[in-house]
Structure 1
Amino acid sequence: MKYGCCVNMFGNKMDPVGMNYIGYLAESGYDYVELPLAQIMELPTEKFEQLKETLKKYNMNCECCNNFFPASVRLTGENTSLNVIEDYIRNACSRAAELGVKVIVFGSAGAKNVPEGFPEEKAFQQIVEVLKIADQHASYEGIQIAIEPLNRMESNIIVNLSDGKKLMQAVNASNIKLLVDYYHFTVEKESLDTIIENGPDIIHVHFAEPEGRIFPSGILNEYRNFFAALNNVGYDSRVSIEANSKQVRKDIGNGLAIMKNCIEN
């Protein structure tokens, strides 16, 4: 198993990508950093080169990107443009490939949420079309796409693993699979059986303590059971902590140790 962290959770206006935290991950023993693709796309060339140099400096790989689409690139509703969407996807996949990204996470509630009054089934078909386009460009760059169900407090479409599986099957592309996020999974009160049912299609995992969506503060049976279910279906790829923090440097180190203990012991 490889261990990573989503540093955009600590980002701010001066550092929306979370570049300043990459060194902390390296010091704490993480295997990779997960960076926000939408924010990376906003970086001017000079800043993007600085990001690449920072990764090189700390010998830290960016194997995954979350935040595929910004809210400004509408994927559902009347105000969508496939030309705009495809241009964004092409450029985003190109930048991700420059960083060595292997998996792009598709959650993007702000971009995909269904406008009030718009038919949900039509919105679903729009998302299917978007992911078919994304598959073409991601596949070309050697990148997989992981559909991330987001709980219904954040999103009004694709809120659980069953929804994600339905979307994956509708797209019908071998390069597009599923992500399970323990926080969203718990908020939606999903059963561990859904992990067993969808195990072969899970290619990425996010983890956080559900209460407050913070770094894990202790070793709980619920955590062990979650990771045991993943182990039972043969999952051994990557898991990223995606959590809030008020004491980042401390939490980054402690969180990794706790997560490893839950998985390996």
Structure 2
Amino acid sequence: MCILTTKRKPRADMNTLLTLFFVVMFEITTLMATAQTHTLGLIAQPQYDSLLYASGFRLTGRTVESLLGPKVSNAEFQAHVKSLHQLKCNVYVCNVLFPGSIKIAGPDVDQHEVLSYLEAVLVRAQHAGIKNLTLGSGGARRLPPGYDATIAKTRFIELSKQMAALAKKYAVTIILENLNSTETNFINTLRDATDIVKRVDHPNFRLNADIYHMLKERELPEAIENAKGLIVYCEIAESQKRSLPGVHGEDFRPYFAALKNIGYEGPIMIEGNVDNLTKDAPIAFRYLQSQLREVWEKK
């Protein structure tokens, strides 16, 4: 009897261990799924890549001028492309598509110049594997005093349709960004940007819902719900000094709730003040994750 008991006990212990193992794995998997509600990114220079990754971020971004623009020589561009493959954080987007010297809205738009510049950037974007280009470019779209905003909008929509067709050729998406009125005087709200994207009506011309700019313009979260199905990604920063989330403790949950209501599953990117990035990046990641979890877990 003693021998039989001795033989059976390890089996019982093994079954218990297996049960505990699966319970623990289930809890870990559930925790990870909850914790990683959305992929988070932070736009910063490549020297901060390891810091961003260690903080929890998996995406980053660059400016078009620094990576894809004509001021970058071919040799420099090839070196940049090679370095992209060595980064821990994926370069999800390049922003500031047009420099202020190339007008895309108003009376001084040179359509040939705009499309020629854009195609040169798109060629490089395709080669570098950059899928998203953000059309903020406050200087490029700023209207002169007294210029008719309705005319500007109509002409911008027509130009955007041509830009979208060109982007499709290179499998790139142009993403229109709402900018607050301290940065430009054209397309200052998400509602304005949404209306333009709807009128352009092209899969390669979509939206960046920038919550920082919404906060600056006191735009309500409901504007996000009006943009359902059009938002490729969101950007965020605190309205006070454009600091990283958590520095001043601003509440983004009403905007996250609007994203939840439309079934948004895309990334959320921080574009803000990086002067104290070593200290602020880990805080920002934890702060955003906490508010996102709270919203997504709420029934």
Answer yes or no: is the 8 Å Cα contact 2:41–2:57 preserved in 1.
yes
- Name the counterpart of 1:186: 215
Identity of aligned residues (%): 25
- Name the counterpart of 1:11: none
- Name the counterpart of 1:2: 39
| Shift in CA distance, 4/99, structure 1 to aligned 2, threshold 3 Å | farther
Correspondence list, 1:5-154, <5 A: 5-7=42-44, 18-40=45-67, 41=69, 42-154=71-183
| Shift in CA distance, 119/225, structure 1 to aligned 2, threshold 3 Å | closer
Matches of 1:132 and 1:184 in 2, distance apart?
25
Matches of 1:221 and 1:213 in 2, distance apart?
11
SS where residue 93 of structure 2 aligns? strand
Post-superposition CA distance 1:17-74 (Å, at most 9, x none)? x333334323333222111113321322222222222222224321212111111111
Matches of 1:27 and 1:98 in 2, distance apart?
28
TM norm structure 2: 0.79
| Shift in CA distance, 162/261, structure 1 to aligned 2, threshold 3 Å | same
Matches of 1:121 and 1:39 in 2, distance apart?
33
Matches of 1:226 and 1:77 in 2, distance apart?
32
Matches of 2:284 and 2:124 in 1, distance apart?
29
Answer yes or no: is the 8 Å Cα contact 1:135–1:176 preserved in 2.
yes
Answer yes or no: is the 8 Å Cα contact 2:237–2:271 preserved in 1.
yes
- Name the counterpart of 2:199: 170
Give the letter for the 1:67 counterpart: V
Matches of 1:177 and 1:58 in 2, distance apart?
27
| Shift in CA distance, 56/98, structure 1 to aligned 2, threshold 3 Å | same
- Name the counterpart of 2:286: 257
TM norm structure 1: 0.88
Give unpaired runs (5+ residues) of structure 1. Answer: 8-17
Runs ≥4 residues deviating over 6 A: none
User: Which one has the largest radius of gyration?
Assistant: 2
